[in-house]
């Protein structure tokens, strides 16, 4: 009877890997299996092949085989490229890799100019999302929103009565 691939310690495993059946980020396809995705996620957390094997209750050779298969599917040559491609294609997300506290620690080591650039990009993304949400409402609504934003210097106040 073949050995089943189940984690030895479910509580620890769940800390790193999202539950089965959870929907992947938008834009991700079903190209990678859940196991391939999980191994890339654990590699992104900094675990070695041996640590991943121990965590999942499988052999180190199995981890290497699955990681190699995932790299082939993604068209990359290394685990680092697999992690980056997994992030950019939506198989894994930053919040699965790092907690908010860990991200805060990383940002704390950055200079003020880097933090300003990050904040600027986040603001731009929010504005792009707002345009995407509002654009189906028509040019009149967009014009009113833009006018209001200019008047309030970036602080949007909703009118008491929506026309």
Q: Can you tell me the mean pLDDT for 17-36? A: 58
Q: Can you tell me the mean pLDDT for 67-85? A: 94
Sign of CA dihedral 137, 138, 141, 144: positive
Helical spans, DSSP H, in 89-135: 94-97, 100-108, 112-134
Instruction: Locate 133 and state its tokens.
Output: 């949400």
Phi/psi of residue 17, each to 5°? -120, 135
Q: Can you tell me the mean pLDDT for 1-6? A: 43
Q: Can you tell me the mean pLDDT for 97-126? A: 81
Which of residues 161 and 85 earns the better pLDDT score?
A: 85
pTM: 0.54
Q: What angle do CA 58, 60, 66 make, to 5 degrees?
A: 80
Please give the C-alpha separations between residue 55 and each of 1, 17, 97, 130, in angstroms, as whole numbers: 22, 11, 16, 41
Average pLDDT, the chain: 75
d(C-alpha 3, C-alpha 123), whole Å:
50
Length of the chain (residues):
163
Residue 139: other Cβ atoms inside 10 A: 8
Residue 163's pLDDT band (cuts 50, 70, 90): very low
Residue 149's pLDDT band (cuts 50, 70, 90): low
Residue-wise pLDDT tens digits, 129-142: 776 776 677 777 66
């Amino acid at each position: 009877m073949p050995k089943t691939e189940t984690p030895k310690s479910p509580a620890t495993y769940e800390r790193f890997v999202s539950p089965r059946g959870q929907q992947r980020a938008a834009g991700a396809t079903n190209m990678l299996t859940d196991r391939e995705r999980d191994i890339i996620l654990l590699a992104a957390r900094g675990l070695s092949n041996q640590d991943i094997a121990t965590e999942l209750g499988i052999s180190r050779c199995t981890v290497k085989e699955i990681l190699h298969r995932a790299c082939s599917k993604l068209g990359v040559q290394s685990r680092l490229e697999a992690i980056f491609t997994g992030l950019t294609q939506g198989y894994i997300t930053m919040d699965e890799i790092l907690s908010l506290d860990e991200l805060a620690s990383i940002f704390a080591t950055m200079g003020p100019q880097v933090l300003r650039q990050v904040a600027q990009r986040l603001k731009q993304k929010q504005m792009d999302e707002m345009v995407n949400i509002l654009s189906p409402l028509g040019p009149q609504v967009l014009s009113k929103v833009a006018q209001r934003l200019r008047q309030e210097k970036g602080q949007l106040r909703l009118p008491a009565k929506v026309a």
